[in-house]
């Protein structure tokens, strides 16, 4: 009986310690990718697109940077793919210049991948050439689900607006 009480007390203390530790140190992504460009784009224009990779931990691990250029656009300055090795900077910036034949209906996409053996992390971002961000429609509620006289849930339908 004494052993059981001691074990319960140890488990409770460990749970409280873990809860306090996780509350004081919230999880953060190892890297964040921010992609930005002009608010608007016009047919025939050349736009400058900037990406910033912000790392929480600076190390010597190489990062792979990949760019997807949509139809109707041509990369005129900057690399479509690159391996970055920077053991010093917390923020790494890259700039691309893109010539538009017509304003693309798809995004300019940037992806950064950090690999360490079997583990990897990735971040993605996009520039929309002035198009509005996609939004979800206001959910439409349906008849509540009632079981044995108790309302269990109210279903909602959420689909992106087009």
Is there a domain that residue 71 lies in? yes
Give the chain's domain count.
1
Is there a domain that residue 108 lies in? yes
Is there a domain that residue 35 lies in? yes
CB 62 within 8 A of CB 83: yes
Length of the chain: 162
- CB contact set of 94 (below 8 Å; sequence gap of 6+): 50, 51, 53, 65, 78, 79, 82
127-162 confidence digits (pLDDT tens): 999 998 888 777 676 778 888 988 888 777 666 555
22-56 confidence digits (pLDDT tens): 556 678 889 999 999 999 999 999 999 999 999 99
| Torsion angles phi and psi, residue 159, rounded to 5 | -130, 145
| Torsion angles phi and psi, residue 13, rounded to 5 | -65, -40
Is there a domain that residue 18 lies in? no
> Is the C-alpha dihedral spanning 50, 51, 56, 58 positive or negative?
negative
**DSSP-assigned beta bridge partners for residue 71:** none
Give the whole-angstrom CA distance, residue 125 versus residue 112.
9
CATH of the domain at 97: 2.60.40.10
Is there a domain that residue 61 lies in? yes
Question: Which residue range forms the structural domain that includes residue 113?
Answer: 31-127
Is there a domain that residue 150 lies in? no
How many CB atoms sit inside 10 A of residue 144's CB?
A: 10
59-91 confidence digits (pLDDT tens): 999 999 999 999 999 999 999 999 999 999 999
């Amino acid at each position: 009986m004494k052993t059981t009480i001691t074990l319960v007390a140890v488990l409770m203390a460990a749970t409280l310690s873990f809860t306090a530790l996780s509350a004081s140190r919230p999880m953060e992504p190892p890297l964040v990718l921010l992609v930005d460009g002009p608010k608007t784009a016009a047919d025939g224009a050349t736009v400058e697109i900037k990406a910033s990779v912000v790392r929480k931990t600076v190390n010597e691990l190489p990062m792979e940077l990949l760019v997807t250029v949509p139809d109707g656009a041509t990369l005129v300055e900057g690399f479509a793919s690159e391996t970055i090795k920077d053991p010093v900077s917390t923020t790494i910036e890259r700039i691309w210049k893109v010539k538009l034949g017509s304003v693309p209906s798809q995004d300019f996409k940037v992806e950064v991948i950090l690999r360490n053996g079997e583990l990897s992390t990735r971040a993605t971002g996009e520039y929309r050439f002035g198009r509005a961000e996609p939004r979800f429609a206001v959910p439409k509620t349906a008849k509540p689900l009632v079981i044995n006289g108790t309302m269990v849930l109210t279903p909602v339908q959420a689909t992106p607006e087009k």
